[in-house]
Structure 1
Amino acid sequence: MNYLVSVLYIVAFAMFIYGLMGLTGPRTAVRGNYIAAVGMVVAVVAVLVDIRNTDNWILIVAGLAVGVVLGVPPALKTKMTAMPQLVALFNGVGGGTVALIAWAEFLDSDGFTTVHTVPSAPLIIGSLFAAIIGSVSFWGSLVAFTKLQEVLSKKVERGLVAGAKAFQLANIVLAIAAVGIAIHVGLQADSANEPTSAIWIVGLLVAAGVMGLFVVLPIGGADMPVVISLLNALTGLSAAAAGLALNNQAMIVAGMIVGASGSILTNLMAKAMNRSIPAIIFGSFGGNDDAGGAGSATGGTVKATSAADAAIQMAYANQVIVVPGYGLAVAQAQHAVKEMAALLEDKGVEVKYAIHPVAGRMPGHMNVLLAEADVEYEVMKEMDDINGEFSRTDVTIVIGANDVTNPAARLDTSSPIYGMPILNVDQSKSVIVLKRSMSSGYAGIDNPLFTADQTSMLFGDAKKMVGEVAEELKAL
């Protein structure tokens, strides 16, 4: 039977890796997800076979049922605009689960003094590491969820960002407390003394949990995609540590895959913003108190346009670049944009899409959104590939994007986002910005692009206005 369990684990590992490889492109992403999901089913079966002699089948079945009931409906019903929140929430649940496993292992082994199948050092170190990192990931992910859901008002957000230094000092104290408690529990478990009181592991979880809250609370909105990726990596590492404590190969391999891929993605996202990960965690930007409407700070004149004028500009262009942002996602305008692009292409206009690495609320948000509307992968251009095209582009239409098109990042040394690579939209011959209002973006700072000489603003709901532009194109 042990041979069967080993074979099942190997099959699961292979499916995890093969499924992850499929996520490298939109054409294979769905298949990759299915393969990885089947791999997880195989891993669960292996665990059930391995613990076939347990007396807790009722609890196990109940846990599986609760997981299915709580997990499947949100995954099916959540809109694409709310997908980042769902990712943050599911990631947090993973971290919380690992923290609870560490707590349960502490209680089951009388403070790690009663060793079962695992040597004492891996059990103690793995469990304590999992308790700290899993708790940080859980509570940090909950804060990320509330930020993405925009539960907190802009005023509260700005206040939290302004108090970043106080949070940092508190986190230093909490980190020292968590590590100190972990060392105390580990030394007690390795000594001949009585088992450590359960109050210590509770204190460890509380200190790590509060630290998770305090780490993410002051981080500004513009950094949230990187934070989601970082928390995902932490959850993976905590799961691997728990697997080491439990001698569970599936958790070790799956956790290391998630931790490694999440770490690589976090690094790539940070580079895309020209910021180090410590700078994001300890010196976030966004939510400034003096942030106002774009026109108020830049001093230019806002020029409004109509759907008819926008259609005429694009119809007689040689090349049009579409820059999607969160506003497009909120309005669910991807299908309308696809229709508009098809009409332009019928008129001989070349249409491309410029994708910034941190556009939207999570990594790859815009790619997934456009793929949902069957936009061809070849016309979705990454920032480095498309930036040279803007100076040769007749019309760029920006739909709901703000911070990733802000030329202050390139031109204004006093801007909080100075140095962050952006889409060079301002180099286009003509720019049409589609927004509901002149409000600032998620980072809470002004965008001088909106008042530039070559820019005109098309105000209104993205789906409705793009639809009107499409109707005007049909009439030309």
Structure 2
Amino acid sequence: MSHFLPSGLQTMLPNIIQLVYLIATGIFIFGIKRLGSPATARSGNQLAALGMLIGIVVTLFDQQILSFEYIIAGIVVGSAIGAFLAKKVEMTSMPELVAVFNGFGGGASALVAWGEFTRVADPTIFSGQDLVTTGLSILIGAITFTGSFVAFGKLKGFISGNPLTFPGQNVFNALLSIGSFGLVGWLAFDPTNLIIFWTLFGIALFLGILTVLPIGGADMPVVISLLNSYSGLAASMAGFVIGNNLLIISGALVGAAGLILTNIMCESMNRSLGNVLFGAFGGDNGGDGGNTGPAADTDKTVHKTTAQDVALQCSYADKVIITPGYGLAVAQAQHVLKEVVDKLEKKGVNVKYGIHPVAGRMPGHMNVLLAEADVPYDQLYDMEQINPEFKSTDVVLVIGANDVVNPAAKTEEGSPIYGMPILDVDEAKRTIVFKRSLSPGFAGIDNELFYEDSNQMFFGDAKDTLQDLSQAIGEMD
């Protein structure tokens, strides 16, 4: 390509290419920064994508590996698939889509390392550093690929959301991990031995499956965040393999952001990352998938309510806070909820949303779900922001949330969730829980909130009960 350019421009071309790479990197970093706020996240995503597009285009002038036709075809096909998914995939299925994206990202990085390693007849020409980064890219990328698709299966339901374990699994996984790093070192020492290369690739793919299978479905938000970090680290390693600074920096940023978010989510559950990965905790042992009505194995008293009663309490309240959970997403009730809120606001009720960091099935799931229903960003409050307001709140509508509002986290020292920061909904004058049944959440324990005198249970599918509530509020006009 460069031989078509004037001789003076050919001389300057390497510097121009590096400058454009630097510009693309700056655009990507700025885009990532804007992802920190729901109000700027959309434009941030577009800027980050633009940075990557510029990086792809400049690669046409930097690397003479593929012809223009193949790269342009890849851009067109990828863009078409992305546009189709953006239009067709519902927000409730976004966790599964993110898991797939993570998987393909990790797989692509592993393939880049594989291609670079096998494109030369004599791999001994690579330095030891290049061989180590090649091995790490394959290891991390392959783990991300298979692990992400297991996470996809757990979220989709064709793989059990319960922890799938066997005796000694943690020890076995640890030995495989140690062995994998040993193979990376061996590959750097003896790159001509392709048996080592393929053994590393195969073990990494197998390790990805074994890593995610023992993790319960309710812990998938943490797993998705961690796998997102893995995909970034794999991309960064691939950048070292091919000597691409844009890939190194962007991959490192994604990896760091994923690790930071993973740590935030673990702190929000008062659990260590090791407990999430190796504790065989968080199965699908409850949630909102049970039968409608109270659980049959409890002798505790609950106070049931009706749509008309809830409509009356909310319509005459000064302030109402809504705390959504995974049950809202399962019922796809976000639009009906927005109708309810609109009717309450017309009556002069001050309505806010309290969002727990681990509500839903992926980081930011509730924010994205509510944004789809055109809920204003300024009505969404993080846990730290909303907790001081519950004491002055007349009614809290708990829709599909469970453990993140369980007072046992503050009072029961022996509880699995003791110490976990929760939404302090029990401090409000009235709580109304929208739920199919009294079944437990991912922690597998009873929710004390259900039986408090200040709480009422509105049993049923969240979409159906909210529709009834919307109708009841309308009939009061």
TM-score where L is the length of structure 2: 0.90
Separation of aligned partners in 1, 2:47 and 2:309: 48
Deviation at residue 125 of structure 1 after TM alignment: 1.4
Separation of aligned partners in 1, 2:209 and 2:471: 48
Matches within 5 A, 1:294-443: 295=295, 299-443=299-443
Secondary structure of the structure 1 residue equivalent to 2:98: helix
Matches within 5 A, 1:152-191: 152-153=159-160, 157-158=162-163, 160=164, 163=165, 166-189=168-191
Match for 1:138 among 137, 145, 153? 145
**Which residue is 2:241 aligned to?**
245
The worse-fitting range, judged by mean Cα deviation, of 72-81 and 436-445 is 436-445
Structure 1 pair 371–288 and aligned structure 2 pair: CA distance change class (3 A)? closer
Separation of aligned partners in 1, 2:286 and 2:466: 32
Secondary structure of the structure 2 residue equivalent to 1:113: helix
**Which residue is 2:10 aligned to?**
none
Instruction: In structure 1, give the amino acid aligned to 2:93.
Output: A
Deviations 1:249-277, CA, capped at 9 Å, x for gaps: 12111101101111111111111111222
The answer on whether the counterparts of 2:111 and 2:138 sit within 8 Å (CA) in structure 1 is yes
Matches within 5 A, 1:54-65: 54=65, 56-57=67-68, 59-65=70-76
How many positions carry a matched residue from both structures? 460
The worse-fitting range, judged by mean Cα deviation, of 417-426 and 86-95 is 417-426
Deviations 1:315-353, CA, capped at 9 Å, x for gaps: 122221101112212233222222222222232322111
Match for 1:92 among 99, 103, 112? 103
**Which residue is 2:154 aligned to?**
147
Deviation at residue 288 of structure 1 after TM alignment: 8.1
Separation of aligned partners in 1, 2:230 and 2:311: 47
Whether 1:31 and 2:27 are equivalent positions in the alignment is no
Instruction: In structure 1, give the amino acid aligned to 2:104.
Output: V
Whether 1:9 and 2:21 are equivalent positions in the alignment is yes
Separation of aligned partners in 1, 2:28 and 2:230: 18
Whether 1:80 and 2:91 are equivalent positions in the alignment is yes
**Which residue is 1:199 aligned to?**
195
The answer on whether the counterparts of 1:223 and 1:284 sit within 8 Å (CA) in structure 2 is no
The answer on whether the counterparts of 2:91 and 2:372 sit within 8 Å (CA) in structure 1 is no
Structure 1 pair 444–61 and aligned structure 2 pair: CA distance change class (3 A)? farther
Separation of aligned partners in 2, 1:309 and 1:343: 16
Deviations 1:448-468, CA, capped at 9 Å, x for gaps: 322332222222332332232
The answer on whether the counterparts of 2:132 and 2:185 sit within 8 Å (CA) in structure 1 is no
Structure 1 pair 289–397 and aligned structure 2 pair: CA distance change class (3 A)? closer
Structure 1 pair 109–447 and aligned structure 2 pair: CA distance change class (3 A)? farther
Whether 1:228 and 2:218 are equivalent positions in the alignment is no
Separation of aligned partners in 1, 2:285 and 2:69: 54
CA RMSD of aligned residues (A): 2.4
Secondary structure of the structure 2 residue equivalent to 1:27: coil
Give ranges in structure 2 of 5+ residues lacking alignment. 1-12
Separation of aligned partners in 1, 2:271 and 2:65: 50
TM-score where L is the length of structure 1: 0.90
The worse-fitting range, judged by mean Cα deviation, of 447-456 and 221-230 is 447-456
Deviations 1:100-144, CA, capped at 9 Å, x for gaps: 2222222223473133xxxx1331111111111111111111111
Match for 2:119 among 103, 108, 120? 108
Structure 1 pair 56–215 and aligned structure 2 pair: CA distance change class (3 A)? same
Structure 1 pair 413–257 and aligned structure 2 pair: CA distance change class (3 A)? same
Separation of aligned partners in 2, 1:431 and 1:86: 34
The answer on whether the counterparts of 1:233 and 1:262 sit within 8 Å (CA) in structure 2 is yes
Deviation at residue 66 of structure 1 after TM alignment: 4.7
Instruction: In structure 1, give the amino acid aligned to 2:102.
Output: N
Structure 1 pair 208–328 and aligned structure 2 pair: CA distance change class (3 A)? same
